[in-house]
Chain A
Amino acid sequence: MTMLPYAVAAWLFGIGLYGIATSRNFIHLVGCLGICQSATYVLLLGLGYRWGSIAPIFYDHPPGTPAVDPVMQALVLTDIVVGATLTALLLVLTIQAYKRGGSLDPEKLRPMRAGGGSRRNQASSRADDGAGKTS
């Protein structure tokens, strides 16, 4: 058993998360999310692998031949389907956001914000108006 697949998986997840945290472009961000997901592929395949075994297809092998774990491969297959769905959905949302906001920068497309200038006023007026209790 080697630690390499796990180290690669952890590194991929970390680097993907770093990419998401620092991204200034939604398309780039979707790519980073894909990298995070690749970490799960590597992890699952690494967990299911057996050295010196065959693929779990017993057509031309006698039953009982050591094979890698087919359950993990099924999990990865499902994971790939999930990944495709998510990527497609996110790219659709990105295109729509670009059509309406004219930008792909997360900083310019914040939810529920009035936009640059009035934001501070809004925050302070809310603070004045709202907070009732310090309990």
Chain B
Amino acid sequence: MTAFPAALLPLPVALPLVVCAALLATAHLLPGRLPDILATLAALGVAILCGTIALHAADGPLVYWFGGWEPRDGVHLGIGFSVDEASGWVAAFIGLLYALTFVFAWGFFDRTHGHFQILMLLFLAAMIGFCFTRDMFNLFVWFEVMSVAAFALTAYHLAESALAGAINFTVVNSLAGFLMLGGIGLIYAQTGTLDFEGIAAAVARGGRDPVVAGAFCLVAAALMIKGAIVPFQFWLADAHAVAPSPVSVIFSGSMVSLGLFGLAKVSAVVFGASGQVQHALPVLLIGLGGVTALLGGWMALLQRHLKRMLAFSTISHAGIMLTGIGALSAGGTGGMLVYVVGHGLVKGALFMIAGILLATQASIDEIALRGLGRGIWPAGIAMGLAGLLLCGLPLGVLDQGTRLVQGALAQQGHGIALAAGTIGAALTGAAVLRAAGRIFLGLGPDPGDEAGAPSEDEREKANRPLWLMLGPCCVLLALDIGLPADLIGHALPRAASAFLHRPAVEALAEGPAWLPWASLIAALAGAGYGLFRKTLPALVVRPVSVTQSAPTRALEVLHSGLIGDYAAWLAVGVALIAAVLAMV
């Protein structure tokens, strides 16, 4: 393979920024659809560039120092990008997701002078920068740019619930930014550098140090807030449910998992040599991940607002990704990286279907939509397939990631985390399949006057052809199923080891083959129970309703929608992380 000019590394970040600036200056002069076309092409360009970079990074990470400020005599003054194979492919996936989202959002926002495209391109540039950077402060800057673009996009509709959701999102994620900056300040004060490698070397020299542990606590809390891990998860359901559908696709498909991607990178590369952190990580990540997977799945099952249901399902899957990181092995992290891509593809498709329902049927309420989806049955097939993939149908990228995560957990004897992940996936799958059955097949009892949706009347722009919205959704699902498993399986051991800065491993273990089937059967049973509860014998129904009613009510009260409660839980979460770090 020919040498790749490292000077091209900043290009995938610069390209969307340049297009974004050009659009901002000229959008009011441009004819109708030109901003859509430019944005789609820019995102596609980013995907191709990142893919090329990833191909060339297979032999070793590519490094670029801005302004030529290379480290001299072990002193790191400059800011650099460093791209390993896995980061490159994740960035390429993000670019592709954006391109398809721009197609899905074609004509979605009419009289906006391209503001939607401008914000989205800014968002894209920040995500790619976040994947590529090797500097702590640079990581914080991309984190903040990502946040600000996301805040503005959430409130895009300026409806009442959208505003409240956006305010909660903004406040919680701003606090995350402050925590991260505090952590970065501490680690800089202790090590005298902001470069990942420089910090890692200094941490390795330092031994056990409470300041390093404190810095990790703050940075990890910030990234877990972005990744919507219990007890920081509250903002996600509020924000994802009210954001415009194309924005929700990006949020669930890439923003949340990128927080966890950052956590995996920081804990392996920057804090890899700190014994205290490495000892605390399995307990912390696997414990929190397991709880998150269960809570997200349970809450998903309770929702009748489709986008809110999908948001809780994202929380559940974020928990599963976290358990993968917690295994602290090439298999676990590699599985998590594959899971990020697979989950993004499937969840993106599901949010697109929610958007199609909002546009064509003018509702997002599962009960009110009962049977109304029959006219758009192709969307129903896509939703059913996505639901099956979500709960573990042994097919495609998401399944491959699940198996690898399960394999890593099983290898280290984390049986409880394994069970929590499986049940969480089954619960979210059950919720999606139940909704698909009710909306597209008209199953379940006739709701009568309960059909009136409790949420605000919502509608998204209707006059777009169905094929235009369904096309990108089907492409996402086809990618999930069609990406060759051999290719991923072949490249992953090398890529995951390079990502973790560890010596390469030969092969990665996979979990037991029956586990996805168990999860699938549990999901089908759950969906069936939700739909045919009225016709089942009381002997089955009564014990279930009795045991679930109290915890369900408690969970409902917990998700109060009040920003004050969220801030209190945030403090509890930070204290929890600090306590675990102090105890090991």
Contacts and interface: CB of A to CB of B under 8 A. Distances in A.
B117 to A, nearest CB: 19
Contacts of B427: 133, 135
Contacts of B302: 126-127, 130-131
Contacts of B185: 40, 43-44, 47, 72, 75
A135 B181 CA distance: 41
B530 A132 contact: yes
Contacts of B182: 9, 13, 39-40, 43
Contacts of A85: 148
B549 interface: yes
Contacts of A100: 158-160, 163
Interface in A21-61: 21-23, 26, 29, 33, 36-37, 39-40, 43-44, 47-48
Interface residues of A, number: 57
B354 to A, nearest CB: 14
Contact of B553 (A20, A23, A75, A127): A127
A39 to B, nearest CB: 7
Contacts, number: 193
A132 B526 contact: yes
Contacts of A66: none
Contacts of B556: 123, 126-127
A127 B174 contact: no
Contacts of A94: 167
Nearest to B559: A112
B561 A22 contact: no
B170 A112 contact: no
Interface stretch (B223-231, B461-469, B564-572): B564-572
Interface in B532-572: 533, 544-545, 547-549, 552-553, 556, 560-565, 567-568, 570-571
Contacts of A48: 189
Contacts of A96: 155, 158, 163
B151 interface: yes
Q: What 10 A-B pairs have minimum CB-CB distances, sorted nearest first?
A: A110-B561, A111-B164, A114-B454, A111-B165, A132-B526, A132-B530, A133-B526, A47-B189, A132-B529, A97-B163
Interface of A: 9, 13, 17, 20-23, 26, 29, 33, 36-37, 39-40, 43-44, 47-48, 71-72, 75, 78-79, 82, 85-86, 89-90, 93-94, 96-97, 100-101, 106-107, 109-114, 118, 122-135
30 contacts: A20-B171, A20-B563, A21-B567, A26-B167, A36-B175, A39-B178, A39-B182, A40-B178, A40-B185, A44-B185, A47-B189, A71-B194, A72-B188, A75-B137, A78-B141, A82-B177, A90-B174, A93-B163, A96-B163, A111-B238, A112-B561, A114-B455, A128-B545, A129-B450, A130-B304, A130-B530, A131-B530, A131-B544, A131-B548, A134-B547
